[in-house]
Every structure is written in C-alpha cells, then in structure tokens.
Structure 1
Amino acid sequence: MVHTVAVLALPDTIAFDLSTAIEVFGRVQLSCGEPGYRIMVCGTAPVVKAGPIGIATEYGIADLSAADTVVVPGREDIDGEVPADVLDALRAAYDRGARVTSICTGAFILAEAGLLDGRRATTHWAAADEFQRRYPAVRLDPDVLYVDEGRILTAAGASAGLDLCLHMVACDHGTAVAADSARMAVAPLHRSGGQAQFIVRNRPGLNAIAAQTTLDDLLAWIEHNAHRDLTLADLAAQAALSVRTLNRRFQSETGQTPMQWLTGVRIRHAQQLLESTDHGVERIGREVGFSSPANFRDQFRRLTGVPPQNYRNTFRDRIAG
C-alpha cells in the first residue's frame, strides 16, 4: 500500500517549506517503478494564500486522517492563530499512528497542539528564543538541522527541511532510494540532523521590533569596522556613552555584551569569506579582526559548532552536490 503524505497548507504558509515536501516525496520512485508516496495538500480553504501566491488545495483538514505522514510547513507570522480543528486533526493523526513532522516555524503549530511536550525538537534559529518562551515544556535544541523523535520530527529552516525529508525517505525505503531522490533535488544526502545550523546569533529574531533601537547607529558602525583592533572603550567612545551605560544598553537590547556582539560580527564575516574565497583560514582570521589564529579558531568553533575548515568543506560539498 502506498505511503500517504499529507502536507498542511494554512494561511500565510511558507511556500518553500510546503513545496520542499511535495517535491522530495513526490519524486520518489521505487525500484519496481512505482511511486514511493501519494501526496495530498490539505488546506483550510480551496485556495490558501502563501505570500504573493495562492495554493489550490484538493483536500481539506479532515483528510489528514488518511495520512501516514503529516508535514507541517512553517508560517511567515508565528503569531498567526491556528484553527482549533487543525490542532485537533494533528493530535488525532498522531494518536492514530501517523508520523508528524514540522519544517521551520511549523514547530510552533506542533507545540501548540501539545505534541512536542517533553520531547526534544528544533525550529528556525531566529524564532528559537520566542519558542522557548512560549513552550517551556519542549526540550528545544536550536543548534541542529533536524530532530528525529520517532513519530515526531522537526526541522530548522529551509534547507534543513530538505535534509529531514530525505532522512525520512531513507528510513522508509532505504539509502539507495533516498540517494536517488537527493540527486533529483541536486542536494547532498550526507547532512545529519545533528549538524550545526551554523548561525551566529547576533541578528534580530523573527519577532524583532522593526523600529530603530538606540544602538542602531553603533551596530551599523561595528558592521563596517569590525576588522579593526577595537576595544570596549573604542565602542563606548563611538557611541558617545560611558562603558557602563553601553554595557547596560547592549544587554538590554541585544542580550549580549558589546564585545560578544563584535565577535559575532567578525565570525559572520569570516563565514562569508570561507564560503566565497580560497583564502587561507589564518588570513581570513586576520582580515575579519582576530589578532591570533588560535583565538579565531576557538571563537569560530564556539559560535558555529565546527572548525573553520570543516565549515568551508561543508559548503563546498553542498555546491558540488
């Protein structure tokens, strides 16, 4: 019997997440020539808005009951209300034995349904703080690509959803079938769920307030001057503040110290150079503002979870794949 995958389509759904599941599962072909999955897009209305496009849905929320796997894509607005019948349908699908998975901020929907309580899960890095605030009963791991808890699986943003879908194909039909699906998607198969998201968390989250903060001018200045040999006193002088006041405002508005922020900017700049140039690791460390190669490697590993060369190799492998 063909495995049925239902992809949930709510208003404001992230089209990329939704299409990832459709494309990966929809293109799986078994050695006998038969499709590996039957795909249903289940919506709350015949046409669901997803940003600038409309998604026509052939199936409704009640059809989730026919699914072996339910995929919940992320939504642009994490504050958007989730209809009660959707939450009921997700709980019922899981209780009936279905596998339930989320991509990106779709984890908020699973958590709202109570399906993640007491479980390990992940979501998009930029929404992690808000997720932890809302759902303290969930053991959030914001640093990994995806988490497999058996019949409950969660992925971080965008490409991590692709990794998770390929992981599920491998679980269902074996590595050879998943590898063929990966080739169809021009994607690598080898990225494990425990791999780091590689995100340096010194940028506003998804629910950040759009209005300017008192530090905006200084943050922009740091972005352009991070390569210089800067001290805390230099940052305070640029902001025309005392060191004490600067520290207090940074902690209040960013959750970090000024020097932690500066280090994060330097590491992000190093990531860009590792991805786009062939410069040596020591040269890149100097160019972004680190005085010693050892300090650069230590800070890079601390913030991204891997050494600089491993980071570069990962991105080259993805391009080659």
Structure 2
Amino acid sequence: MTTTPQQSPSVVEVTVSGAPRRGLASRLVSRLGSGTLQVALALVALFWMVPVVGLLLVSLRSEADNTNSGWWTVLLKPTELTLDNYRTLVDNDVLVQSFLNTVYISVPATLLVVGIGALAAYALVWMDFPGRDWIMVAVVGLLVLPIQAALIPISQLYGALGIFGSITGAILFHVAFGLPFAVFLLRNFFVNIPRDLLEAARMDGASEWRIFRRVVLPVARPALASLAVFQFLWVWNDMLVALVFTSPDSAPLTVALRSQLRQFGTNIDVLASGAFLSMLVPLLVFFAFQRHFVQGVFAGSGK
C-alpha cells in the first residue's frame, strides 16, 4: 500500500491596494478646484479688498470731498478723483525719506534673516557637531521670548555701541528676533530632503558649500520664499521697534505717518495716500511670491 505525500498548503499573499490616507491640508488643497469653493473664496477676497479699495479712493479725493461724504460716493462722481494728494506726498520730504528708510531697513533685515537662517538650518540638520541638539532647543526657547523683554537691555547695549537711533540698530534687532523663527521653519523643511540626494552629491566630490548652494537652496525655494514674505511683512509694518530704536532722521514710514497724524490731525488726504503707499508695497511683494508662498505653506502636507 502506497501513500501519497500530502502537499503542504501554499500561502497566498494578498496585497490590498488602495489610495493612501491623506491629511486635512491635502484634502483641502484637492477641493480648491471645485466651482462652489472657488466662488466662495472669490467672495471672501472681494470682501477683504473693500477696505483697500476704500483707502485708495480716499487717497484720490480732496480733503473737502472726504469731509463732506463717504468714499463710496465717488462711484457716482468719478470727477472727484485727483492725483493732487500724491503730488503733495512726493513734495513732503519727511514722508519720502521715511519711505526710503523703510526700504533700507526691510530689505537688509529680510535678506540677512533668510541667508543666515538657511545656513544655520542646514548645519543643524546635515552637519554633526557637539551641542547641535541643545542649540535647537535654545532656538525653540527663543521663539517664545517677547520683544518687550529685550527693549531696555538692547537699548543700553546700543547706547554703549553708539548705534542707538540708527538704521543699523533697527536692522540688527529685526535680524536677531527673526532668526529663531527662520531657523525653526527652514530646519523642519530641510529635514524632509532625501538624504540620498545629498550623499550622491558628496560621492561626486561636492563640498558642503556647493551642496548647500546647488542642491539644497533650489529644493527649498518655496520655504525660502515663504520665510521672506513673513519677514518682510513683519519688518515693513513694524512700529514698536521703530519707535524705540530709530530717530526722526531714520524713522520708517509707520512712525512718520503717526507723527503726521499727531501734527495735522485732520489731514486725511496726505495720511490716506501715505497709508495706501505703505500698504501697496507689501501687497506687491506677496503677489510676486504668491506661487512659491503657497507651495511653502503646504509643503509636506501630503504623505
């Protein structure tokens, strides 16, 4: 009697395929293409633009017209529009100089924060050195340090160095308080860059500086643009730091408009044109970097 050997049952592997689970931000981005949501967002954008349009129309009307009626009446009387307010603004040496001071403060403070923050974030992520983790802990701790706590000590330091009331002092203060957020933001972006990409560049003989400049910076362009927009808007619209650390000769536009309001009181035509000019530059910067800004905000949201 012969027995046939029993065959062991084969194990069949079943692979379940399906769409990966997406996060809330990823689902929100995917729904932005729906027509209903686009209409709703357009209505919100129009509602948000009402104060901007109102300020523009006020700046294009004479002081008498602004006193007698609201800015919306110009929609029925377009003859009230005039550029005399902006001619007066250009002839005002104080406001023109304050506008230039704002540029002199905002541009270097933004470039320095982005450049130094990118270098520091790269070192904290991809370079091994003693105390690296403790430095990152200190950076996170500096994020919660209020500006008001440093006004008096920094004022005393600037007085000893002889830079109190200068543009240089305002720039250094903005750079010092902008770097913790810059390092924290860029560090979280750099850590998601594939390590194999950097190792391949090292195997080709690239130095750390070349890797940072040719590999990391192009990949991190959305994050750098987002940081630049945040930093520029913060510095451009700042008044507290400018009030403390600048003199009348180095004061930015926010301080100059405040002094004009205190001096003239009801000089709404000059104040409106200056305020709209102060608002226009950040809007242009935001729309110029809008594509990179949105990419940087949603970077890493989808898995």
TM-score range, shorter chain: under 0.3
Higher CA-based Rg: 2
- Between Structure 1 and Structure 2, the one with more helix by share is 2
- Between Structure 1 and Structure 2, the one with more strand by share is 1
Structure-1-length-normalised TM-score: 0.21
Higher relative contact order (CA 8 A, sep 6+): 2
